[in-house]
Structure 1
Amino acid sequence: MTAMDPALTALAQSWCALSLLHSRIEAHIERALQAKHDLSVREYSLLDVLSRQHNGPGGHLQMKQVADAVVLSQSATTRLVTRLEDRALLSRYLCDTDRRGIYTDVTEDGLKLLSEARPTNDCALREALDEAARNPELAPLVKAVEELKMPAASIPTPAGVPT
């Protein structure tokens, strides 16, 4: 295959369209969450991921699992956790069985904010998809996303991250 191969060109164009759709959706949701809840998309995602932890075996996530789930480096995830901890939305504590392990839980204030922000996130997502569907290049991707309609319990997450 060469750089001028039509299959590669089509693949690159498809990737660009998918990247554009993602960027537009994320920017739209970011504006809505910031305006109404003083939350970034990453902060919302982190609260959402951590809110799904449980106290049973494997119920708490290691920082690497959290970083994978929110698609950030471990250092960026640690800084994000610190910012939310400073706002009293998260708390950290040592693991009972391994003093090197540190867990992070969503506080009551964090759960309340997440609950208030979820409808904003969902509405902004719907608005962004509706707007993108009017673009002929993005419409097939929007249709594909809408047809997935996966139940929350089956949403793929990085290995080891509970749903």
Structure 2
Amino acid sequence: MDREINTINYLPDFLKEFREFGALAEAENPELLYAWDVYEELLKNQFVNDSGEPGVKRWEAILGLLPKGSDTLDIRRFRILARLNEKLPYTRRILEQQLAALCGEDGYLVEIRNGEYTLAVRVAMAAKAKFEEVGSLLRRIVPANMVIDLSLLYSSHSKLAGHTHAELSTYSHEQLRNEVF
């Protein structure tokens, strides 16, 4: 924050006349600016969305998360928020709320196959970077007697039907299947 700190303004008028107090005030001004900057940084690090590198490291240590070398600060914040959003009871509705927070409202599909004791979760290609975190979330909250079937929700014919063959011919089959259009 841009602060103007001039401690000489806080001195009584008769002390402002002394050269020593003026020099003392000038020496204190940078120290007070530094103290304000440190305070603001500490305040930001209390909130995950505003945290910088030191705050994110602190949250990761508290929650026992290990960042990957390729993770950006936003991905690390995302993992912290994902861990903080876990809560009991683990109902389908709570699971869908957590998946919506992680992947977006249209970023996943959930299907419970009761007869097979299977939970099928499909993560949309747009949320592909968060696939591993979704798997970690499911391993922590899905009951141990259920099989987790987690995969990506690839592009289907219905998503590509609006494009002509000529438009799609510039892409490989793998690109059509794995990329977001």
Q: Larger C-alpha radius of gyration, 1 or 2? A: 2
Shared fold, TM over 0.5: no
More RCO (CA 8 Å, sep 6+) = 1
The structure with the largest strand share of the pair is 2
TM-score normalised to structure 1 length: 0.27
TM-score normalised by the chain length of structure 2: 0.25
- Greater helix proportion: 1
